[in-house]
Structure 1
Amino acid sequence: MKKISVLLLLTVNFLYAFSQNKNKLFKGMYLQWGYNTEWYTKSTIHFRDVVNGVKHDFTIYKAVAHDRNDLDAITKNPVEISIPQYNYRIGFYLNNEHNKAIEINYDHAKYIVYNNQLLHAKGTIGSTYFDKDTAFSKSDLQFEHTNGANFYQINYVRQYVLKSNGSRPLFTGLWKAGAGILIPKTDVTLSGKRVDNKFHIAGYCIGAEGGARWYFGKKWFLEGTAKTGFANYTNALAAGSGRVNHNFGYFELIGTVGYDIKF
């Protein structure tokens, strides 16, 4: 994750430096921080792994998962700002009106498959073939992206002034859309072996969101949006040397506080 953070910092520094040249491609920027809650569609999950010398190659169908927003941590442990499902945005305005922007858009969301679901499962564990409805125990199978399902996107942003106070906006409507990569930290238990894996580029995502901003100060604003998207994990890490692949759609509600910076 440190390498990813360094890469992000270098990207931001490059964009900021580029904005300062005589061409001034960017006309300002903004920073946002906030939190979210999520809902997920059912997912078909394919495990290909070798655990304790035993080959696993099976699929579970229509698995139901939930988030863990931990929003109560905002009041119980406000110093630990990254415990809840958090979001940040780093945007660069493309025009003087500040109604068009390119944005680095990050969502830290937790994805947890419910334990003991009755699911259809098909495939092999060792030499045993199965094709039946079954409920795996927590020690047999547990699957989650709990240090983040982690959606990194580059978005195009369009903003519309709904109400202004002289030369500055008070309320705006906006939409965003883009695509990016998934960098989850997958925690998986398979046949009694649990591994809390490292951060890993595991697939791609697309998403779009819409909502509104309230400028309660000259530079400060609150933003509320609803977001929907698709995440495809093509090679999440498993419990051994194998991989897990699955995909799902999601719906997300996001609240952030932001700050405008003029160049």
Structure 2
Amino acid sequence: MLKLIRHVLILLLLFSFTKAYTQEKESLPYTKKGQFYFYWGYNWSSYTDSDIHFRGSDHDFTLYDVVAHDRPSKFTLETYFNIFNFSAPQFSTRFGYFIKDNWELSLGMDHMKYVAKQLQNTTITGWIEEDGTTTIYNNDDIRLLYSFLQYEHTDGLNYINLGLRRTINIINKGKFDLNLIAGFESGIIMPRSDVTLLGKDRSDRYHLSGYGLNLVGAINFTFFEKYFFQAELKGGYVNMPKVLTSFEGDIASQDFFFSQTNISFGGYFPLFRRKVKD
């Protein structure tokens, strides 16, 4: 929670700075209308506690204030630099097009991971039917064990989003530029959830579960007006009313706030070659 608050405060400071920096500056060659960019990188994320509501023919209950964390891959050359293993870590990728000088519209995907902490103590309200016996809970204490529930979006809390961003140049030295970027993004959540509940077979299918929205702020270091290194902070909200939990049609619903740190590398190039007049 504290990490999320810190990220939001940093984003608000960045947006305040970009708003105060209102004088129009000439766009750089790579931020002019018609330019295109692509980046690839990796992310680390954190989540607020979440109430998760589970529904099915033999159960209807809510777990309150469930603690969850991300699961970044351990750094190895094989994991992060093998092209056949590129989707295993938590990654972020983005395509962008400058629709106006210094303004770009982009499409991206943040492959985050969400893991409900095991062996945590929480509370439960609702009912569960097992072997013909119905157990009713009313804000009772419960300990999350694998024998009861495993709840993860580890094949991806996949956030596919459209964004509008503005670039502001701070330092322009020709071979090296420093830029600030601020924007807003929104899109859909397409997880492949790893959920085992009450011993049932997991669904393990990609599915449209909900939506997300977020603010983003970034520091961009551009070299030779072609290549860049970018560090991003994101703070946003995810609402998933339909998470598949079994092949029997059982579902779960939850919502939470998230913060994310991205480190990315990319390059600029023109989408269309401009004709040179004689």
TM-score by length of 1: 0.84
Alignment of 1:5-44 (within 5 A): 27-44=34-51
Residue by residue, what CA displacement relative to the aligned partner does 1:89-148 show, whole Å, maximum 9, x if unpaired?
1101112x3x10001021000000011211010100012111201113212111010111
Deviation at 1:171, TM superposition (A): 0.8
Correspondent of 2:98 among 81, 93, 99? 93
Instruction: Give me the CA root mean square deviation.
Output: 1.7
Q: Which amino acid aligns with 1:120?
A: T
Q: Which has the larger radius of gyration?
A: 2
Would the alpha carbon gap of residues 261 and 145 (structure 1) be closer, same or farther in structure 2, given more than 3 Å must change? same
Q: Contact 1:145/1:186 (CA < 8 Å) preserved in 2?
A: yes
Distance in 1 between residues matched to 2:159 and 2:183, nearest whole Å: 14
In structure 2, the CA distance between the partners of 1:88 and 1:76, relative to structure 1 (3 Å rule), is closer
| TM-score relative to the length of structure 2 | 0.80
Equivalent-residue separation in structure 2 for 1:115 and 1:194 (angstroms) = 19
Which of these residues, 111, 132, 138, is aligned with residue 114 of structure 2?
111
Q: Which runs of 5+ in 1 are unaligned?
A: 1-25
Contact 1:112 1:144 in 2 (8 A): yes
Report the CA distance shift for 1:74/1:204 in structure 2 as closer, same or farther (over 3 A).
farther
Match of 1:152 among 157, 160, 163: 160
After TM superposition, the structure 1 = structure 2 runs for residues 151-230 of structure 1, keeping only pairs within 5 Å, are: 151-166=159-174, 170-230=177-237
**1:63-83 Cα distance to aligned partner (Å, 9 max, x none):** 000100115145556211211
What does residue 75 of structure 2 align with? 72
Aligned structure 1 segments of 4 or more residues deviating by more than 6 angstroms: none
Identity %: 30
| Structure 2: unaligned runs, 5 residues or longer | 1-32, 273-278
Give the distance between the partners of 2:201 and 2:115, measured in 1 at CA. 15
CA contact (8 A) 1:88 1:106 kept: yes
Cα deviation, 1:145-178, whole Å, max 9, x if unaligned, reads 0111111111001000011124x76110001212
